[in-house]
Structure 1
């Protein structure tokens, strides 16, 4: 874990995304215990309420669940749910604007694919 934050978005969202990344990347598996609020507060040296807000969003989304007195755990299906959410966001945030701009510039679908393959082949991913 990296314990520095950027100023582009609220810290509670960055905490949520760190845990989401750990799930998507397989560092946290289904039914595995997630880092506790206290562990995150201690590691990142941030306010308890900030961490709790990020964690509670994951609970509300069904990504984590609480076992009273034990801690937070990764829900079954959390990885698939997060991947689906990110694929949709990827399309909305990257693919739609890309296609719109390409259309304005008269770039065909085949040209877009070729450009993507060039970038992938150049190691600039």
Structure 2
């Protein structure tokens, strides 16, 4: 994990994003314990309340669960939930904007699909 103390994004959101990303990539697998609030706060010199606030976001989203006396664990469907969330965000943040821009440029669906295919081909060259 790496935190940027010089940007405007609050640290607790960075904590949530970094843990979510670790769940997404499988670094924190389903049903496994994640580092404690104390461990993260000591390692990165962050206030424990700030770390807890970030973790609680993920608990509320169903990605983490607290087990009394045991710690915090990734939920069984945590990774699936992250993938679903990111699919939705991808659609909302990129696809919808792309379609609006295509409409402004008077590009039809077939033309947009050709551009997307061209982008994939360019990446594979």
Q: TM-score range, shorter-chain basis? A: 0.7 to 0.9
TM-aligned CA deviation for residue 72 of structure 1: 0.5
How many residue pairs get aligned? The number is 124
- Map of 1:98 onto structure 2: 98
CA contact (8 A) 2:64 2:72 kept: yes
Output the aligned Cα RMSD: 1.9
> How far apart in 2 are the matches of 1:5 and 1:17?
14
Structure 1 residues 41-60: aligned runs within 5 Å:
41-60=41-60
- Map of 2:39 onto structure 1: 39
In the TM superposition, structure 1's runs of 4+ consecutive aligned residues that sit over 4 Å from their partners are none
1:4 to 1:120, Cα distance in 2 relative to 1, 3 A: farther
- Map of 1:22 onto structure 2: 22
Name structure 2 gaps, 5 residues minimum: none
Q: TM-score, normalised by structure 2?
A: 0.87
SS in 2 for 1:22: helix
1:111 to 1:74, Cα distance in 2 relative to 1, 3 A: same
Deviation digits for residues 33-56 of structure 1 (CA, Å, limit 9, x no counterpart): 112111211222121111110101
> How far apart in 2 are the matches of 1:84 and 1:111?
28
Deviation digits for residues 48-92 of structure 1 (CA, Å, limit 9, x no counterpart): 111110101111222111122221000111111111111111111
Q: TM-score, normalised by structure 1?
A: 0.87
TM-aligned CA deviation for residue 5 of structure 1: 5.0
> How far apart in 2 are the matches of 1:65 and 1:10?
23
